[in-house]
């Protein structure tokens, strides 16, 4: 091979390949869809400042952060369990780039921004956009940031009690020397979905009012974090437990860096997110502070879940956008059958379909963080809050699936190069595949969508429907959108029909319908957002095409499957027989 490479002809061939390497510039400046959203929604003064910050950050990503992210991928964390003298140390060794990411996260206020609220209700959106830009270059550091944000949110929603003021200050600090990250230790061996029944960790109260935790946490990501929130069952001296789980805050290490009666059993050997340490941990008397009412742990940690699930959506949209930007660049350079890929209509159609998915997901994300910003500044109506509660699980589950499909399709758009490890493309693919597993699987999130609706006794569903209706009414006279609005109205009608039909059936119907129902909500709501965006006076023809294409897919799969009898007892029995191989 080296002989062949030595020939002049072969060298020319290599140069051709170099020219094909897709190169992207300032992500912010290149993201026309993002910028058009910001121009449409942000007040002028906020836009001016945010725009400046994002352009600067886009430059920093390009010139500094992306290379650090790649270094994190090349130098995954390792566990050193013993020191040279046989002492158990359980040291998780991270690379310098990973530690630098932590400093950068603080400097850029990637958590702080959301809590300082210098742009009032728009601060959340500003933060989310920065995280969206950061995500694919972060070398997995978006994971600890998600959990840190979630922990800060829990503490804030508890009214930032005196004992947690200091921690809150660290979690939301812009000072790299002060900034802490948090973990989220929920999953145990017997259950990551069914946390309430699967948690075996117990908490024993100490004379000083603190607790000692004993148990085994099966998945703990960013295990190098400074602090964590975790769940345990409070037991008395006889080992008798109270009803539910309780929520605890703990510091992972003491002032001298010694672990808080925690042993690291091993680091997980993961398909992706390998830049970040996910550990199995034994808690052997870890000192902790009870921060929820006893037995209210699951409800209390749900504030964290809703934030980390939004980060999951950010990660999903970011991975789609990143892969597509690279695909687009590649199509402008790579020649096949005598012309550039971008001049092959079938190739361009493949990319355009992914672009529609990505744009839809992006608007859904933006609307969620817009609503979150309103709730955090006491500007949200009751309807806004209900809508947010439904949209978070629906968006998490839907964009997780979109991201898996889009990144795999986008990988194929590079041909064989897409499958080559050192292009970095497989990293994006692997890291995207976890998005539908962690932070609650698709089915669990579908059941959470149902939970959110049933808890409001119909109000959340009514709000959802009227919110979509309002967007359609406002857009109905905009040119070129009529077919999309018609399809949306038809889908809404079928959804309402489904709701009426399901109301007269048993609980099994809704359980079997949960996934299709959640997909329906995500598709319909996203359709309404795309229509709204395309109805702006300065909308372009591609904005209109995006809305039309989105709305021409099956918007109401749940009605279709109801008609197919998929939610009947007989269908469930047949599902069982099919799975059993009978
Ligand atoms: O995977 C993890 C971290 C990965 C790394 C971080 C990545 C971040 C993204 C990075 C960017 C790329 S951490 C582990 C995540 N684990 C899960 O998500 C657990 C999945 N299981 C569930 O979500 C379940 O639904 C449970 C455990 C939350 C609840 O199940 P139960 O026991 O059946 O729950 P209940 O009894 O229905 O709910 C208990 C209470 C209720 O309130 P009350 O008691 O007032 O009626 C519920 O309404 O909790 C309330 N609740 C909620 N409230 C439950 N879920 C929610 C919610 N989402 N929002 C508000
Ligand atoms: P199970 O609960 O056993 O689920 C198995 C399957 O059954 C799933 O497909 C699920 O959808 C389905 N299922 C379960 N119940 C139902 C039902 N009622 N109806 C229909 N289907 C159902 N956890 C943490 O706490 N902290 C972390 O930092 C963390 N980091 C992680 C990092 C990685 C890379 C991964 C992969 C996981 C991490 N997790 C973490 C764990 C993760 O949150 C759980 O794996 C996830 O919530 C699923 O739980 P489980 O693995 O126990 O699956």
Q: Print burial letters for 547-572: b (CB count within 10 Å at least 16), e (below 16).
A: bbbbbeeebbbbbebbeeebbeeeee
Q: Please work out whether the CB of residue 438 comes within 6 Å of at least one atom of ligand 2.
A: yes
Name the nearest CA neighbour of 204 among 252, 238, 251, 254.
238
Cα 494 to Cα 231: distance, rounded to the nearest angstrom:
41
Pocket test for ligand 1, best of 151, 183, 195, 294 (most atoms within 8 A of CB): 195
Stretch 394-414: mean pLDDT: 98
Say yes or no to pLDDT of 242 above 80: no
Instruction: Give the Å distance between the CA of 302 and the centre of ligand 1.
Output: 5
CB of 434 shorter than 6 A to ligand 2? yes
Distance 88 CA to ligand 1 centre (A): 35
Structure ipTM over 0.90, yes or no: yes
> What residues form DSSP beta bridges with 264?
281
Q: List the residue whose alpha carbon is closest to atom 37 of ligand 1.
A: 451
Q: Whose CA is nearest to atom 11 of ligand 1?
A: 312
Residue to probe by mutation, ligand 1, list 130, 387, 448, most atoms within 8 Å of CB: 448
Work out the angle between the directed axes of helices 345-376 and 32-41 (0-180°, nearest 10): 30
- Per-residue pLDDT at 191: 85
Report CA-CA distances (Å) from 453 to 301, 460, 519, 558: 19, 6, 15, 16
pLDDT of residue 1: 27
Cα separations (Å) of 466 from 286, 305, 371, 460, 532? 49, 27, 16, 10, 14
Q: Write down the H helix ranges in 413-481.
A: 425-433, 442-455, 459-475
Looking from the CA of residue 272, the nearest atom of ligand 2 is: 34
How far does the centroid of ligand 1 lie from the alpha carbon of residue 233, in Å?
16
Burial of 285 (0-12, 13-18, 19+ CB in 10 A): middle
Say how far residue 214 (Cα) sits from the centre of its chain. 30
Could you please report the per-residue DSSP string of 340-368?
A: EGGG-HHHHHHHHHHHHHHHHHHHHHHHH
Determine the distance separating the centroid of ligand 1 and the alpha carbon of 365, expressed in angstroms.
20
pLDDT digit string, tens, across residues 81-122: 999 999 999 999 999 999 999 999 999 999 999 999 999 999
Whole-prediction pTM value? 0.97
In this prediction, residue 240 has a pLDDT band, given cuts at 50, 70 and 90, of confident
Q: How far apart are CA 62 and CA 428, in angstroms?
A: 17
DSSP single-letter state for residue 242: P
Mean pLDDT (the chain, rounded):
95
Distance of CA 391 to the CA centre of its chain: 13
The pocket around ligand 1, CB under 6 angstroms, is made up of: 142-143, 146-147, 184, 186-187, 192-193, 195-196, 221, 298-299, 302, 305-306, 308, 311-312, 315, 438-440, 444, 448, 451, 455
> Contact 185/220 with Cβ under 8 angstroms?
yes
Q: How far apart are CA 212 and CA 234, in angstroms?
A: 10
Specify the DSSP class assigned to residue 61.
I
Q: Does ligand 2 lie within 6 Å of residue 444's CB atom?
A: yes
Q: Rounded to the nearest whole angstrom, what is the distance from the C-alpha of residue 511 to the centroid of ligand 2?
A: 18
Q: Is the per-residue pLDDT at 269 higher than 50? A: yes
Residues 56, 47 contacting (CB under 8 angstroms): no
pLDDT tens, position by position, 464-512: 999 999 999 998 777 899 999 999 999 999 999 999 999 888 889 999 9
- How many domains in the chain? 2
Cα of 329 vs centre of ligand 2, distance in Å, is 36
In a domain, 477, yes or no: yes
Of 289, 321, 107, the residue nearest 212 (C-alpha): 289
**Structural domain includes residue 231:** yes
Q: Return the closest-CA partner of residue 268 out of 79, 433, 425.
A: 79
Whole-number Cα distances in Å, 328 to 15, 23, 419: 20, 10, 17
pLDDT digits 0-9 by tens, 536-570: 999 999 999 999 999 999 999 999 999 999 999 99
Pocket test for ligand 2, best of 140, 149, 184, 187 (most atoms within 8 A of CB): 187
Share of the chain above pLDDT 90, in %: 92
What is the mean predicted confidence (pLDDT) over 240-250?
A: 89
Q: Give the per-residue pLDDT at 18.
A: 65
CATH code where residue 201 lies: 2.40.110.20
The pLDDT score that the predictor gives to residue 8 is 52
Q: What CA–CA distance (Å, rounded) separates 186 from 522? A: 27
Question: What percent of the chain has a predicted confidence (pLDDT) above 70?
Answer: 96
Say if 73 falls within a structural domain: no
CA distance 190 to 295: 19
Q: Which atom of ligand 2 is nearest to the CA of 184?
A: 26
CA dihedral 465, 466, 470, 472 (to 10 degrees): 20
User: What's the confidence (pLDDT) of residue 523?
Assistant: 98
Would you say residue 378 lies in a domain?
no
Give 389 Cα–ligand 2 centroid separation in angstroms.
21
Q: Please report the sign of the dihedral spanned by the C-alpha atoms of residue 119, residue 121, residue 126, residue 127.
A: positive
Q: How far apart are CA 421 and CA 471, in angstroms?
A: 44
| Pairing of the two strands 227-235 and 246-251 | antiparallel
- Does 198 fall in a domain? yes
Residue 438's closest CA among 296, 300, 271, 201?
Answer: 271
Query: Which residue, 298, 333, 367, sits at the end of a domain?
Result: 298
Rounded CA-CA distance 77/275 in Å is 7
pLDDT digits (tens, 9 = 90+) for 6-46: 445 556 666 666 668 888 899 999 999 999 999 999 999 99
Going from the Cα of 563 to the center of ligand 2, the distance in angstroms, rounded, reads 31
Q: What is the mean predicted confidence (pLDDT) over 307-323?
A: 98
Q: From the CA of 140, which ligand is nearest?
A: 1
The parent domain of residue 573 ranges over 457-580
Q: What is the pLDDT of residues 176-216, one digit of tens each?
A: 999 999 999 999 999 899 999 999 999 999 999 999 999 99
Question: Are 174 and 110 in contact, with CB atoms under 8 Å apart?
Answer: no
CA–centroid distance, 444 to ligand 2, in Å, is 9
For residue 243, report the distance from its CA to the centre of ligand 1, in Å. Answer: 17
Distance spanning both ends of the chain, measured CA to CA: 54
Q: Is 270 in the pocket of ligand 2 (CB under 6 A)?
A: yes
- Nearest atom (ligand 2) to Cα of 273: 34
Mean predicted confidence (pLDDT) in 447-465: 95
Q: Is residue 116 part of a domain?
A: no
Ligand 1 centroid from CA 198, angstroms:
13
In a domain, 371, yes or no: no
User: Counting atoms of ligand 1 from 1, which one is nearest the CA of 196?
Assistant: 32
End residue of a domain, out of 253, 269, 298: 298
Q: Evaluate whether residue 189 is within a structural domain.
A: yes
Q: Last residue of a domain, which of 298, 326, 351?
A: 298
DSSP state at residue 265: E
């Amino acid at each position: 091979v080296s002989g062949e490479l030595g020939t002049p002809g072969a060298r020319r061939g290599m140069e051709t390949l170099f020219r094909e390497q897709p190169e992207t510039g300032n992500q912010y400046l290149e993201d026309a869809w993002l910028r058009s959203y910001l121009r449409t929604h942000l007040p002028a003064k906020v836009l001016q400042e945010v725009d400046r910050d994002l352009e600067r950050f886009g430059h920093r990503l390009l010139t500094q952060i992306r290379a650090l992210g790649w270094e994190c991928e090349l130098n995954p964390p390792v566990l050193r369990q013993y020191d040279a003298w046989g002492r158990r140390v359980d040291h998780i060794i991270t690379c310098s780039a990973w530690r630098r990411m932590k400093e950068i996260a603080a400097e850029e206020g990637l958590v702080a921004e959301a809590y300082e609220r210098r742009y009032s209700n728009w601060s959340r959106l500003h933060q989310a956009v920065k995280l969206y830009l950061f995500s694919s270059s972060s070398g997995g550091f978006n994971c600890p940031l998600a959990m840190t944000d979630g922990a800060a949110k829990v503490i804030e929603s508890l009214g930032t009690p005196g004992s947690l003021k200091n921690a809150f200050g660290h979690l939301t600090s812009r000072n790299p020397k002060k900034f802490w990250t948090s973990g989220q230790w929920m999953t145990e061996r017997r259950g990551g979905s069914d946390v309430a029944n699967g948690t075996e960790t117990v908490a024993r109260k100490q004379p000083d009012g603190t607790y000692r935790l004993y148990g085994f946490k099966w998945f703990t990501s960013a295990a190098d974090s400074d602090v964590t929130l975790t769940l345990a069952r409070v037991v008395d001296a006889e080992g008798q437990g109270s009803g539910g789980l309780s929520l605890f805050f703990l510091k992972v290490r003491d002032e001298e860096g010694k672990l808080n009666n925690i042993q690291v059993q091993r680091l997980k050997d993961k398909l992706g997110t390998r830049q970040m340490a996910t550990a199995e941990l034994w808690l052997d008397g870890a000192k902790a502070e009870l921060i929820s009412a006893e037995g209210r742990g699951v409800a209390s940690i749900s504030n964290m879940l809703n934030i980390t699930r939004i980060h999951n959506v950010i990660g999903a949209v970011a991975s789609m956008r990143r892969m597509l930007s690279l695909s687009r660049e590649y199509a402008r350079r790579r020649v096949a059958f005598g012309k550039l890929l971008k001049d092959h209509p079938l190739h361009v159609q493949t990319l355009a379909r992914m672009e529609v998915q990505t744009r839809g997901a992006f608007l859904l994300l933006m609307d969620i963080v817009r609503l979150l910003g309103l709730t955090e500044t006491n500007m949200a109506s009751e309807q806004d809050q209900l809508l947010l509660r439904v949209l978070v699980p629906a968006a998490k589950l839907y964009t997780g699936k979109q991201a898996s499909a889009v990144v795999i399709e986008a990988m194929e758009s590079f041909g064989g190069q897409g499958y080559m490890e050192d292009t970095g493309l497989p990293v994006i693919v692997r890291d995207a595949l976890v998005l539908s597993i962690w932070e609650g699987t698709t089915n669990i999130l579908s059941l959470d969508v149902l939970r959110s609706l049933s808890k409001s006794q119909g109000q959340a569903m009514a709000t959802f429907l009227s919110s979509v209706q309002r967007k359609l009414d406002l857009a109905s006279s905009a040119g070129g959108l009529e077919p999309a609005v018609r399809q949306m109205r038809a889908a809404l009608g079928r959804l309402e029909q489904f709701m009426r039909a399901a109301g007269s059936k048993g609980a099994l119907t809704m359980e079997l319908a949960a996934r299709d129902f959640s997909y329906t909500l995500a598709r319909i709501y996203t359709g309404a957002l795309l229509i709204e965006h395309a109805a702006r006076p300065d909308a372009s023809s591609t904005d209109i095409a995006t809305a039309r294409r989105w709305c021409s897919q099956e918007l109401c799969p749940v009605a279709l499957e109801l008609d197919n009898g998929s939610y009947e007892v007989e269908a469930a029995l047949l599902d069982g027989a099919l799975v059993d191989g009978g």
